Amino acid sequence: MLEETRQLIYSKQVKIASLLIYQNILTQEAWEAYVKLMHSLANYVTDGHENNYRRLAYLVAYGKWFRAIASTGYNWRDYVIAQILTSDNPFSRQSQTTDFENLSASLITATKSDLKILEELSLWGGEKLVDLIEACGDRLVAWHTTTSNLSKLSEAKRSLILKFQANDDWTKFLPDLANYYKHSGTGIFTEYDAFRWRSGHLEGIAYPDLVQVSDLIGYATQRQSLYKNTDAFLAGYHGLHTLLYGSRGTGKSSLIKSLIYAYRDRGLRLIEVTKNDLKDLPTIAEILREAPQKFIVFVDDLSFEEEGEDYKALKVVLEGTLSSQPNNLLVYATSNRRHLLREYFSDRPSLKDLSDRQEVNPWDTVQEKLSLSDRFGLTLTFLQADQEIYLKIVHHLAKRAGIEISEEDLDFRALQWATRNNGQSGRTAQQFIDFLQADLKVKNISHQY
């Protein structure tokens, strides 16, 4: 029995070591714990049942694997499938740019071999794994193969996982898998709809602010222009880099955020880049160039005190260099300044001091400071909301929040709030509704005592 168990464990270790294309999935926490568990089990059965240290080692290893897989929200089989769908490897990368029929025979053969291995290993994460451990003398709690929660996944990902779930020959889905990579991409791009650039790499945003277009009141012309531009971009045409300029609190940022909810099923992804990281824009552009999705780089509250590396990097992405611009990337920026770069009266030449100035062509300085905003093909202006729009936003938000007070009282309170706080704007309206909702709730609780 001991020799049979030893051979069974060794066969799984050989399978893991034989992975060619999907070897990178072994770096994930749950897979690392699984490999460590197999190694600890192998050491235990090799040394015999009398080695208490080896026994403790594999029990600890099983606990680490159990916690790791439990934290993913998947059962082991679904986790293995999900790792296949997100793996960034030679097959998944080439599938994005090459038709399946034109992929090399050796690449397809290696991928099929890996899928057979992974399908076999996917069955050794529940009762079978515990049965293997039981042969060593211990009975542990199994991570049961209950149904994973797939509701939050995209339709394409959910559909393919269900296909893999129901079949024990995963190689027959190789064309489907290649097609999935072609349309959904690989790695982090298949897991998130929104990202931020931080410390030199893309970081997925697990809970993006999903603004719905129905929540945006006013500025219909600006909204239609931005959506029309985005539609053209997703349809394969040349979209325009867009600057949303105007008063604070008018919903510029919310309008851009609403694109995630509206277009995520069409492959649109939003990447938030801060002003301090604009110098990395050329690097970001090259990372995204070969991805099948379309990307909006979102820069909020854009302005510059003076020309610097960030300023120049943005100009490069907006206008390009000798390298062609990626066809799958646009920049959408918001700003309270029309010309983005701070201007001074001293920048403007006058006749009386023109002869004393150091610069021969001073107007060139002025034109250079105005040129950055001109590189945005589309500029949308957002003026301060008037009272009618402000109250319309307030009523919409109050209805959504389930606030039940008279229209007259709501209008009176909303106008008072705007006067005492930040003026009439969409942001002020949201702040007022948040306050009012809490205030009414607290008063209702107080009346119960």
* pLDDT (average), residues 353-364: 49
* pLDDT (average), residues 71-99: 91
Segment 205-215, tens digit of pLDDT: 988 888 888 77
Res 135: pLDDT: 73
Give the percent of the chain with pLDDT over 70: 83
Cα 50 to the center of its chain, rounded Å: 50
Position 350 pLDDT exceeds 70:
no
The 3-state DSSP class for residue 194 equals strand
Segment 397-411, tens digit of pLDDT: 888 888 888 888 998
* Amino acid at the residue 366: V
Instruction: Please choose, from the candidates 381, 292, 363, 304, the residue with its C-alpha nearest in 3D space to the C-alpha of residue 328.
Output: 292
Res 399: pLDDT: 87
Do residues 380 and 226 make contact, with C-beta atoms less than 8 angstroms apart?
Answer: yes
Helix (H) or strand (E) holding 134: helix 127-134
Tokens of 116: 């057979």
Position 106 pLDDT exceeds 90:
yes
* Amino acid at the residue 381: T
pLDDT band per the 50, 70, 90 thresholds, residue 428 = confident
Instruction: Please choose, from the candidates 151, 129, 141, 168, the residue with its C-alpha nearest in 3D space to the C-alpha of residue 40.
Output: 129
Tokens of 372: 């950055």
- Mean pLDDT of all residues belonging to the chain: 83
* pLDDT (average), residues 172-182: 94
Position 317 pLDDT exceeds 80:
no
Res 170: pLDDT: 96
Most confident range, picked from 1-5, 82-86, 140-144, 440-444? 82-86
The 3-state DSSP class for residue 43 equals helix
Segment 12-26, tens digit of pLDDT: 999 999 999 999 999
* Sign of the alpha-carbon dihedral angle for 48, 50, 53, 59: positive
Segment 228-246, tens digit of pLDDT: 999 999 998 989 999 998 8
Do residues 382 and 223 make contact, with C-beta atoms less than 8 angstroms apart?
Answer: no
Do residues 297 and 284 make contact, with C-beta atoms less than 8 angstroms apart?
Answer: yes
Segment 25-34, tens digit of pLDDT: 999 999 999 9
